[in-house]
Amino acid sequence: MDNNKLWIQQTIAHQETQKIPYNFDFSPPAQAAVAKYYRTENIEEKLNLPIRMADVKSIKPIYADPDEHGPVIRDEFGVIWSTNKIDRGAPIGPCLSNPSLTDYVFPDPKEEYRYEGIGNWCNHNAHHFTLIWVGDLWERATFMRGMNDLLLDTAVNINFVEVLIKRIADYIMQTMKILFERFKFDCIALSDDYGSQKTMLMSPRTWRNLVKPCLSDIFRLAKENSRYIFLHSCGNIEPIIPDLIDIGLDILHPVQPEAMDPFEIKKKYGDDLTFCGGIGTQRLLPYGTTDEIRRKIRELKDIMGQGGGYIIEPGITIQSDVPLANVIAMIDEVVA
Question: Tens digit of pLDDT for each residue in 139-177?
Answer: 999 999 999 999 999 999 999 999 999 999 999 999 999
Number of domains forming the structure of the chain: 1
The Cβ-side half-sphere exposure at 243, using a 13 Å CA radius, reads 17
* Structural domain span for residue 23: 4-59+107-335
Residue 25 makes CB contacts below 8 A (sequence gap 6+) with 53, 313, 314, 317, 318
Q: Is residue 100 part of a domain?
A: no
* Pair type for strands 51-55 and 129-135: parallel
The Cβ-side half-sphere exposure at 225, using a 13 Å CA radius, reads 21
Q: Is residue 39 part of a domain?
A: yes
Question: Tens digit of pLDDT for each residue in 244-275?
Answer: 999 999 999 999 999 999 999 999 999 999 99
pLDDT of 69 higher than 80: yes
Q: Is residue 80 part of a domain?
A: no
pLDDT of 1 higher than 90: no
Q: Is residue 116 part of a domain?
A: yes
User: What whole-number distance in Å separates Cα of residue 311 and Cα of residue 79?
Assistant: 33
Q: Is residue 180 part of a domain?
A: yes
Question: Tens digit of pLDDT for each residue in 106-132?
Answer: 999 999 999 999 999 999 999 999 999
User: What whole-number distance in Å separates Cα of residue 76 and Cα of residue 90?
Assistant: 15
Question: Closest Cα to residue 239, out of 198, 277, 274, 210?
Answer: 198
pTM of the model: 0.96
DSSP codes, 218-234: HHHHHHHTT-EEEEE--
Mean pLDDT of 16-35: 96
pLDDT of 2 higher than 80: no
Q: What is the CATH number of the domain that holds 17?
A: 3.20.20.210
Confidence grade of residue 37 (pLDDT, cut at 50, 70, 90): very high
Mean pLDDT of the chain: 96
Mean pLDDT of 193-221: 96
Question: Closest Cα to residue 190, out of 252, 243, 142, 128?
Answer: 252
User: What whole-number distance in Å separates Cα of residue 241 and Cα of residue 196?
Assistant: 15
Q: Is residue 230 part of a domain?
A: yes
The Cβ-side half-sphere exposure at 241, using a 13 Å CA radius, reads 26
pLDDT of 214 higher than 60: yes
User: What whole-number distance in Å separates Cα of residue 149 and Cα of residue 154?
Assistant: 9
- 225, 286 in Cβ contact below 8 A? no
Q: Is residue 102 part of a domain?
A: no
User: How crowded is residue 4: how many other Cβ atoms within 10 Å of its Cβ?
Assistant: 19
Which helix (H) or strand (E) is 267 found in, with range?
helix 262-269
pLDDT of 223 higher than 80: yes
Q: Is residue 24 part of a domain?
A: yes
- 300, 278 in Cβ contact below 8 A? yes
